A and B are shown apart, each in its own frame.
Chain A
Amino acid sequence: MTIQDASIIEVHGLAKRFGDVQAVAGIDFDVREGELFGFLGPNGAGKSTTINMLIGLARADAGTIRIAGIDGSKNPKAAQHLMGVVPDESNLYPELTGFENLSFCGALYGMPKRDREARAKELLDRFGLAKAANRKFGGYSKGMKRKLTIAAGIIHAPPILFMDEPTTGIDVASARQIRQLIADLNTAGTTIFLTTHYIEEAQRLCGRIAFIVRGRIVRTDTVEELMRRMDGRHVVRFAVSSGAAEVCEAIVAKWPNLHCQAVAEDHIRVESSEPVRVGPLVRLLEDRGAEVSEARKLRPSLEDVFVEITGIEAGAMKQEKEQPGKGGGR
Chain B
Amino acid sequence: MKAWIAFWNILAKDFRAYYLKPPNISWGLIFPLAWTGMFFIRSGAGLDSVPALLPGVIAVSVLFGTTSLLSVTVTFEKKGRSFERLLLAPIPLELLMVAKTGGAILFGIANAFVPVIFAAFLMDLSAVNWATLVPAIVLIAISSTFLGLFIAVSVSEVFEAQTFSNFFRFPMLFLCGLFFPIEPLPVWLRPLSYALPLTYGADVLHGSIHRSPHLPLPVDFGLLLAFCAVLFGLSLRNIRRKWIV
Q: Do A and B bind?
A: yes
Known: A58-B244, A77-B91, A96-B17. A107 touches B82 (CB 8 A): no
Instruction: Evaluate contact between A57 and B84: CB separation under 8 angstroms.
Output: yes
Residue A105, interface by CB 8 Å: yes
Residue A255, interface by CB 8 Å: no
Chain A residues, Cβ within 8 Å of B82 = 91-93
Residue A159, interface by CB 8 Å: no
Instruction: Evaluate contact between A77 and B80: CB separation under 8 angstroms.
Output: no
Further 4 A-B residue pairs, CB within 8 A, beyond A56-B244, A108-B85: A55-B88, A91-B80, A107-B5, A108-B9
Residue A200, interface by CB 8 Å: no
Residue A104, interface by CB 8 Å: yes
13 A-B contact pairs sorted by A residue (CB < 8 Å): A57-B87, A59-B245, A85-B88, A91-B81, A91-B82, A92-B85, A93-B82, A96-B17, A104-B9, A104-B13, A109-B89, A110-B1, A112-B5
Instruction: Evaluate contact between B13 and A96: CB separation under 8 angstroms.
Output: yes
Count of inter-chain pairs, beta carbons less than 8 A:
69
Chain A residues, Cβ within 8 Å of B87 = 56-57
Known: A56-B244, A87-B84, A92-B82. A110 touches B13 (CB 8 A): no
Known: A59-B245, A77-B92, A96-B17. A109 touches B2 (CB 8 A): yes
Q: What count of chain A residues pass the 8 Å CB interface test?
A: 28
Which of A58, A93, A110 is in CB contact (< 8 Å) with B3?
A110
Residue A175, interface by CB 8 Å: no
Whose C-beta in chain A lies nearest to the C-beta of B21? Answer: A95
Residue B116, interface by CB 8 Å: no
Residue A227, interface by CB 8 Å: no
Chain B binding surface, main DSSP class: helix
Residue A78, interface by CB 8 Å: yes
Whose C-beta in chain B lies nearest to the C-beta of A137? Answer: B82
Known: A57-B84, A96-B17. A108 touches B244 (CB 8 A): no
Q: Which 8 A-B pairs have the closest CB atoms?
A: A110-B2, A107-B9, A108-B89, A91-B81, A80-B90, A81-B90, A95-B17, A110-B5
Chain A residues, Cβ within 8 Å of B16 = 96
